Chain A
Amino acid sequence: MLEDWTRANLALWNELTGIHERSDYYDVAGFLAGKNTLFATERDEIGPEVAGKTLLHLQCHFGLDTLSLARMGATVTGVDFSDEAIAAARRIADQAGIAATFVQSDVAALPDTLQGSFDIVFTSWGVLVWLPDLERWAQVIAHFLAPGGVFYIAEFHPFAYVLAEDASAGDLRLGYPYFHDPEPLAISEVSGSYADRDATVRQPVQYEWQHTLGDVVSALTAAGLTIDYLHEFPFMEGALDWPCIVKGPDGRGRLKGMETTFPLSFTLHARR
């Protein structure tokens, strides 16, 4: 049931928030000292557009990217379904002295909670797997975009989610379906978090939905957005501890044996 799946994922993300706040991966101290937490991909592509704009950040976790976008000159609102994450985001905003609004809400329910419209809607890295319904997601994006407003996403590539857990160079087997299934994948026995594999996580199971590239494109266009570009990259940013991923000197992860030839991430820029 959707409520059960969402409840489990919420328990997970509430628990992860505490772990992530203390993790080297998220480096809150570095952020407070001025570090921009955006990855180069989105910093290069959407960064130049944000100054002076109102920006809505969907699935913002505990807000470090949201606050980094505020430092780059955007007037920011961050949304996440985890109350722990939103509490942490507000605390860090206070501590850093950055003006920001944080709202606790599911993406799907956001129009019930939040008023207004935005110049930019932004979302990034590991967000889509937590959404059961991309059509609703795209409608929410369109709802909050001002006419002419811009939507931007940087995300792991759907092809990458097809690889078997234990795939390796020369043995790149498929382990998961490419296509969306309304019934999510139940994932258990995850050790720790992507930000700290040694952490103890009590929540025993998480639920993830695959979405294809076509699902993303078609949901956005059906909601009335016009695509400006789709980019694909042979690297991923962020969580790089998949067994088949090697981390390069640029901090990006690439697929062992197909370092320049396998798509691991995409970005999409669209407007209303």
Chain B
Amino acid sequence: MLDDYTRANLALWNEWTDIHERSPLYDVEGFKAGRTALHRLEIDELGDVRGRTLLHLQCHFGLDTLSWARLGATVTGVDFSVKAIALARSLADELAIPATFHCTPLDDVERVLEGSFDIVFTSYGAIEWLADLDRWAAVIARYLKPGGTFSMAEIHPLAQMLDEMPGRHDVWFTERYFPTGEPERCRVEGSYADPDAVVEHDVCYGWPHSFAEIINALIGVGLRVEYLHEFPFAVCPFWRWMVREQDGWYYLPGGRRDVPFTYSIKATMPVTRGA
């Protein structure tokens, strides 16, 4: 059973799937022609995936999942949106990329998926849709083989506290850092991939998560945190005036490198639990 918040989010993500399929940000045609949907960041951090099994949590319509497959991983993607999973499967078929996709809320993955993986991966704008990170971490631990790797790249919690200063291309602190357990209700305009798109389901709910909450959730299920990296660029423009540079990332204008917008974590499942 989905709660009301997740139901609202699901309606939005189903609608977003159609918009994203046609958006320049996702560039499905480029992907079909062979372009990877992954960034240098996650490719470099995860390293060689050839011959390894990979589970992608909250995979949306699977471009990243299929990009990992092109790099040699045996991939499984899960997402709660039926439209996203249908599109992921049709892309995999069309491009003849072997991949398994399951439509399921994260909480219910165990109902549809067995086995364990060398790698569990998640990225960019995933965990803000989850109320309970302890449950999230338990799913990660459930599917990681001993010695397996968890890798994530996400939106930095400091960036989530910022908003634009009125009339200026600059930012200041306006939003809370600490989670309350209650979701924040957001009015959606278009999509992060296409701000001008029209959406019918324009209310969504997100849960801010602190670094302590994220790291302690992973530690709590027995993972060893290997690193926390932070970066002064964003995966998509938070505000329209952010600048896309040569490397494809979005930055504050004027060459600024002082504000974190992205972080990554690598963690490993010990070979002997608790060791």
Taking Cβ atoms with an 8 Å cutoff, the residues of A that contact B are 159, 162-163, 171-174, 176-179, 212-214, 217-218, 221-222, 226-232, 234, 258, 260-263, 266
Q: Which residues on the A side are within 8 Å of B227 (C-beta)?
A: 214, 217-218, 221-222
What is the bound-complex CA distance between A227 and B211, given in angstroms? 13
B106 CB-CB contact with A under 8 Å:
no
Identify the 8 closest CB pairs spanning chains A and B, nearest first.
Answer: A261-B176, A177-B258, A172-B173, A214-B228, A218-B227, A214-B230, A217-B228, A232-B212
Select A172's contact among B172, B215, B226, beta carbons within 8 Å: B172
Query: What distance in Å separates the Cβ of B207 from its nearest Cβ neighbour in chain A?
Result: 14
Q: Give the interface residue-count category, chain B.
A: 20 to 34
Q: Are A174 and B259 in contact (CB under 8 A)?
A: yes
Verify A174–B212 contact, CB threshold 8 A.
no
Is there contact, CB below 8 Å, between B212 and A266?
Answer: yes
Chief secondary structure at chain A's binding surface: mixed
Question: In this complex, what residue of B is CB-closest to A257?
Answer: B173
| Closest-CB distance, B254 to chain A (whole angstroms) | 13
Please state if B228 and A262 are interface contacts (CB–CB under 8 Å).
no
Chain A hits for B210, CB < 8 A: 232, 263
Contact A179-B225, Cβ < 8 Å, known A172-B174, A231-B212, A258-B173: no
B102 to chain A, nearest CB (A): 32
- Specify which of B161, B172, B173, B232 lies most central, judged by the most chain A CB atoms within 10 Å of its CB: B173
CB pair B172–A174 under 8 Å, yes or no, is yes
- Asked if A261 contacts B178 (CB within 8 A), the reply is yes
Q: List 30 A-B contacts (CB under 8 A).
A: A159-B177, A163-B173, A172-B173, A173-B172, A173-B173, A174-B172, A174-B259, A177-B257, A179-B232, A179-B257, A179-B258, A179-B260, A212-B230, A213-B211, A213-B230, A214-B229, A217-B215, A217-B227, A221-B224, A221-B226, A221-B227, A222-B227, A229-B216, A230-B212, A232-B177, A232-B210, A258-B176, A261-B178, A262-B161, A263-B210
Q: List B144-203 residues whose CB lies under 8 Å from chain A.
A: 158, 161, 165, 171-178
Chain A nearest Cβ from B225, distance in angstroms? 6
Does B219 belong to the interface (CB within 8 Å)?
Answer: yes
Which residue on chain B has the smallest CB distance to residue A177?
Answer: B258
Residues A178 and B260 in contact in the complex (CB < 8 Å), given A217-B227, A218-B228: yes
Using known A-B contacts A171-B172, A179-B258, determine if residue A230 contacts B178 with beta carbons closer than 8 Å: no
Q: Which of B67-108 contact A (CB under 8 A)?
A: none
Nearest chain A CB to B16's CB is how many angstroms away?
29
Interface flag for B263 (CB, 8 Å): yes
The reply to whether B211 and A212 form a contact with Cβ atoms under 8 Å apart is: no
Q: How far is the CB of A258 from chain B (nearest CB, A)?
A: 7
Q: What is the minimal beta-carbon distance from B41 to any residue of chain A, in angstroms?
A: 14
A260–B210 CA distance with the chains assembled, in angstroms: 13
Are A229 and B174 in contact, with the CB atoms below 8 A?
Answer: no
- What's the minimum C-beta distance from B24 to chain A, rounded to whole angstroms? 30
Q: Is the CB of A213 within 8 A of B219?
A: no
Q: Is the CB of A227 within 8 A of B178?
A: no
A165 vs chain B, min Cβ distance (A): 14
Contact A260 B178 (CB under 8 A): yes
Q: What's the Cα separation between A228 and B211 when bound, in Å? A: 14
Complex CA gap A162/B171 in Å reads 12
B267, chain A: closest CB distance, angstroms: 10
Residues of chain A contacted by B171 (CB below 8 angstroms): 174
Q: A218 — which chain B residues lie within 8 A by C-beta?
A: 227-229
Residues of B within 8 A of A176 (CB): 258
Q: Which of B161, B165, B228 contacts A213 (CB 8 A)?
A: B228
Inter-chain CA distance A222–B228, complex, in Å, is 11
Given A226-B224, A258-B176, A263-B210; 5 other pairs, CB 8 A cutoff: A174-B259, A179-B230, A213-B228, A261-B176, A266-B212
Residues of B contacting A172 in the complex (Cβ-Cβ under 8 angstroms): 172-174
Chain B positions within 8 Å of A178 at CB level: 158, 230, 232, 258-260
Q: How far is the CA of A259 from the CA of B212 in the complex (A)?
A: 18
User: A262, B219: Cβ atoms under 8 Å?
Assistant: no
Q: Which residues of B contact A263 (CB under 8 A)?
A: 177-178, 210
Using known A-B contacts A177-B258, A179-B232, A232-B210, determine if residue A217 contacts B225 with beta carbons closer than 8 Å.
Answer: yes
B212-238 CB mask vs A (1 if < 8 Å, else 0) is 100110010000111111101000000
Q: Is the CB of B211 within 8 A of A234?
A: no
* B172 lies within 8 A of A234 (CB): no
